[in-house]
Amino acid sequence: MSRRRLPAPRRASEPTLALINIVFLMLIFFLVAAQLARPLERGLQLVETADPRTVAPPDALVLGADGGIRFRGQAATAESAYALLAGEGAAETVRVMPDRAAEARRVVALAGALKALGAGRILIVTGQARP
């Protein structure tokens, strides 16, 4: 009596086409998202740190080297910018992008003014240091 061996069951192939489609869609998403970000203020040089954990946000207060504050491309004060953010419901976390040449005491004064106005968290946005 001879016993016939049955062939081992074949594994179903992996759906590589679906994986390629997902990767392609992710690539398109990130390309579009990168193009939608607002550019930084002209002539602004951010403070550098070794490892920033944030991306330059579009709704940040820009503190210039001369101590002037700009918000969304317009000259502003801490009070007017905070009032605008509060009106939009985005005043819990306020981002400040200081120019590299801005005096530290002005950065601290701006942070203190925002805290006094009711900001929950104040994030200082910096650029990544080049080795």
Contact yes or no for 62/97 (Cβ under 8 A): yes
pLDDT at 26: 92
Give the Cα separation of 88 and 96 in Å (integer).
17
| pLDDT mean across residues, the chain | 79
Lowest average pLDDT, out of 7-11, 19-23, 106-110, 119-123, goes to 7-11
| H or E element at residue 78 | helix 78-87
pLDDT digits (tens, 9 = 90+) for 56-113: 566 888 888 888 888 888 888 888 888 888 888 777 888 888 888 888 899 899 999 9
What does pTM read for this prediction?
Answer: 0.56
Residue 70 sits at the vertex; the CA angle it makes with 123 and 36, to the nearest 5 degrees, is: 75
Highest mean pLDDT among 13-17, 27-31, 86-90, 125-129: 27-31
Give the Cα separation of 131 and 129 in Å (integer).
6
- Strand pairing class (60-63; 93-98): parallel
